[in-house]
Amino acid sequence: MTSKSFVQEAEIRVLGLCVSKLLHYIWYNFFSIALLAKGIKMKTHTLLMPLDMHLHLRDGVMLENIAPLTAYSFSGALVMPNLVPPVSTLDDIKAYKQRIMAAVPNDYFEPYMTLFYKNYDKAFLESVADSITAIKLYPAGITTNSEGGVSSFDIEEMRLTLQTMSDLNIPLCVHGETDGFVMDREAEFMTIYELLATNFPKLKIIMEHITTKAAVDMLEKHENLYATITVHHLLITLDDVVGGMMKPHLFCKPIAKRPEDMQALLSVALEAHPKVMFGSDSAPHPQHKKESCGCAAGVFTAPIALQLLCELFEAHGKLDNLQAFVSDNAQNIYGICAEFKEITLEKRPFIVPENYSGVVPMYAGETISWAIESVD
């Protein structure tokens, strides 16, 4: 399928799903004309219904502290299920969603729920299908709280689950890393993506937080492969993590790779390739767990992601593509209709806070060039 026909088909599907979205778009077009005149002196940019399609909200006090930051500026987020224990029953899903909603009482915000991948039977999958947006697969032990993940990719063992997911149109989100050498893990995983994509050609498979040219190249090879890209992997390479001083707040899994990998990610993100969408992989850890003798993996970007994306897309003269990258593509790929929310960003210096409730964000204390002006 070509990208063009893909977009057309996807857009028709979404329009069918949600007429109110069309009205929002019409309204947005009128609004943008008004903004244009205003923007000449204000340098503003408006995003509608931004979505973060890969987010860690954790639980308990951390959830309460962190969820409002995303709910403030995003319409919704795909919430990862790697709690301890992982989200793996219908009760887990409903209860976690309730806790998230309780943490963000004053915002229009949709947590798109995910289930932790295990081999589930058909009856169970049918029972949860309406309550989840996707199922998230972790190789066992590959990242934070993933110990109960998949330890071997035996397609026959996984066939019942994956075929049922395909039949029920439940997308599979995958943390695609082997347990090999840290710089090779994602590229090595491409053979597993090929195996999944060819065995389940109707299953939507999202290659999560891709970091390599190898993964970008895969997008064109299989119709049913999609990808999320973080903002930090569009901005940093391994050089930023360990090339000067070592930076624990830029340490994540998958680790940032080589310059040519970042360029490949930029090439599809800046063009808002219809098979890629924004997923922050924002992952909060308390400061003492980052600045320690064994630093936890995760970059915390949730409260500054849209600002950084504006800065990046503007620097490349691609601001017009940001709407698709942060919302439209995701709605098309997942066939979801986001809660209406309008975020206006303004081009003015913004000093990133040193921490948010004890969690140090990317670029803490540094000045970035866009700030959130208003949320409606």
Q: Residue 52 or 177: which CB sits closer to its own copies?
A: 177
The kind and range of the H/E element at 334 are: helix 329-334
Show the tokens assigned to 147.
């110990």
Q: Residue 196 or 304: which CB sits closer to its own copies?
A: 304
Report the alpha-carbon distance of residue 164 to residue 159 in Å, rounded: 8
Least spacing, CB of residue 257 vs its own copies, in Å: 10
Q: Say how many C-beta atoms besides its own lie within 10 A of residue 61's C-beta.
A: 12
Q: Residue 343 or 360: which CB sits closer to its own copies?
A: 360
Q: Say how many C-beta atoms besides its own lie within 10 A of residue 90's C-beta.
A: 15
What is the dihedral sign for C-alpha 169, 174, 178, 183? Answer: positive
Least spacing, CB of residue 300 vs its own copies, in Å: 12
Phi-psi region of 169 (alpha: psi -120 to 50; beta: other; left: phi over 0): left
Least spacing, CB of residue 259 vs its own copies, in Å: 6
Report the interface residues with its own copies, using CB under 8 A. 181-183, 237-239, 241-249, 251, 255, 258-259, 290-297, 360, 364
281 is catalytic: yes
Q: Say how many C-beta atoms besides its own lie within 10 A of residue 178's C-beta.
A: 17
Q: Residue 44 or 144: which CB sits closer to its own copies?
A: 144
Least spacing, CB of residue 258 vs its own copies, in Å: 6
CB 174 within 8 A of CB 254: no
* 3-state SS assignment for residue 94: helix
CB 82 within 8 A of CB 144: yes
Least spacing, CB of residue 297 vs its own copies, in Å: 7
Report the alpha-carbon distance of residue 207 to residue 138 in Å, rounded: 11
Closest by Cα among 66, 322, 247 to 256: 247
Least spacing, CB of residue 337 vs its own copies, in Å: 39
Q: Residue 17 or 84: which CB sits closer to its own copies?
A: 84
Q: Tokens 């098979």, residue?
A: 275
- From 52, 107, 261, 281, active-site residue: 281
Residue 211 one-letter amino acid: T
Q: Residue 204 or 257: which CB sits closer to its own copies?
A: 257
Q: How far is CA 87 from CA 59, 62, 150, 174, 175, in A?
A: 11, 17, 15, 15, 16
**Residues acting as catalytic residues:** 281
